[in-house]
Structure 1
Amino acid sequence: METFQSHYHQWGAVLFFTVIYGLALLFVPFYRKMDRKPATAYMAFVLAFAIEMHGIPMSMYLVSWIIGRNLPEGVLWGHTLFHQIGYTGMYINIILSTIALFVIGNGWYNIYHKYWSLQKGKGKVVKTGVYRYIRHPQYTGFMLLTLGMIIQWATLPMLIMWPFIARMYYRLAKKEERDMLTEFGEEYMMYKRKTKMFLPFIV
């Protein structure tokens, strides 16, 4: 643990990462109260990442106390698989975060000008930018952001929370698609047949 002691008790860094990752939520509208649940879960995940990376390694302390021995670096705390792959996990996180922010930003730009600005006219099915390939780029972005965090700095709370967050966003995406079918009917159905939900050409 001594190698990474400099990571801890840096509460300014905790605040910085919380704000930076939290900014992604500004590019998603919340029309209904239910939409806030996945956002709240996402922020809880970000806090777990930031606190355990730069604040206090609570997962390592808890698991070590339960099993009666210290955990090696990369097992439920710290740079995941650091001794096997070095800083590769950190680089993967940077790559996934860059892709995620592009996808979220591009999705926001296209949907803002084509659907959200209903006061300028009737909204329409957005088929430009990343929406040519996937129907829920913001949610894809959040999953990539959180997955990158896990690859770089896996902790017990993050491993437990990630499947629940993924399920929340999947359910929200399905709900939104039902709303779009009600609003646009056959046009959205045809769009749905030509695109994937989250990953181009895959799913």
Structure 2
Amino acid sequence: MHGESSYGLWLLVFINSAIFIFFAFSFVKPNTKYEWRSLGVYSAFIVALFTEMYGFPLTIYFLSGWLTENYPGIDFFAHDNGHLLHTLFGFEGNAHFDPLHIASNIIIVFGCVLLSAAWSVLHKAQQERSLATTGWYARCRHPQYIAFIVIMFGFLLQWPTIPTLLMFPFLVAVYIRLAKREEFVALREFGDEYRHYMDSTPAWVPKLTLDK
């Protein structure tokens, strides 16, 4: 059987999923059902990703006929060849060092740093019952959700699968909806102060320069 030892590594599926889910939980600390729902969908994305990366390559099985016909001689059931974009874009050598994989790692690390930086500002503001308007919150209104989207996009560059590709736009929609709900709450609590913040700060595309 092709690449028999390359998959079925369920301990790695569990460890990697647990790390990224706990990382997200440690920052989000969900309280409302909507926050739990968003964390649940994110967790499903992460589990689906690592299940195909180390457990069972569903996408490769599904596309095996097309892959075999168009890329003869390549054993896609060997783990290193599971980086489908590496083959589809014609890269050679170790997939872990191709431009897409390197970009993926940079994007994922940036997303994690952004999430950490955003949460420190948001947590302080919550303790003081004030608006979070400094740091990344001075550049955009929802850096914490941008961070989650960036992290997931980074993983898609590294290891795209049919389930995660289908889940990604749904997750983005979940975060947009959650952000709008939180803004409704903020408007009710802070009123004109938050309206001014909305007028001066974009929601999703960070400002490159800050107002003096």
Normalised TM-score (structure 1): 0.84
What's the counterpart of residue 152 of structure 1? 158
Give RMSD over aligned pairs: 2.5
What's the counterpart of residue 10 of structure 1? 9
CA contact (8 A) 1:100 1:144 kept: yes
Structure 1 residue 113, shift from structure 2 partner: 1.2
Following TM superposition, the consecutive aligned residue runs of length 4 or more in structure 1 with deviations greater than 3 angstroms are 4-7, 67-73
Equivalent position to 1:108, from 110, 119, 125: 119
Equivalent runs, 1:134-173 vs 2, <5 Å: 134-173=140-179
In structure 1, distance between residues paired with 2:199 and 2:84: 38
Equivalent position to 1:175, from 181, 188, 193: 181
In structure 2, distance between residues paired with 1:196 and 1:5: 50
Equivalent runs, 1:33-182 vs 2, <5 Å: 33-64=33-64, 72=71, 78-83=82-87, 84-85=90-91, 86=95, 87-115=98-126, 117=127, 123-182=129-188
What's the counterpart of residue 19 of structure 1? 18
In structure 2, distance between residues paired with 1:7 and 1:198: 39
AA at the equivalent of 1:17: N
User: Tell me, which stretches of 5 or more residues in structure 1 are unaligned?
Assistant: none
What's the counterpart of residue 194 of structure 2? 188
In structure 2, distance between residues paired with 1:63 and 1:27: 37
**Aligned with 1:125: secondary structure?**
coil
In structure 2, distance between residues paired with 1:52 and 1:7: 11
In structure 1, distance between residues paired with 2:84 and 2:190: 45
Normalised TM-score (structure 2): 0.81
1:79-137 deviation digits (Å, cap 9, x = unpaired): 1421324522221221111111111111111111122x2xxx5x111111111111112
What's the counterpart of residue 32 of structure 1? 32
User: Tell me, which stretches of 5 or more residues in structure 2 are unaligned?
Assistant: none
In structure 2, distance between residues paired with 1:5 and 1:133: 49
CA contact (8 A) 1:136 1:198 kept: yes
Query: Taking structure 1 as reference, are residues 71 and 17 closer, same or farther at Cα in structure 2, changes over 3 Å only?
Result: farther
AA at the equivalent of 2:207: F
CA contact (8 A) 1:79 1:89 kept: no
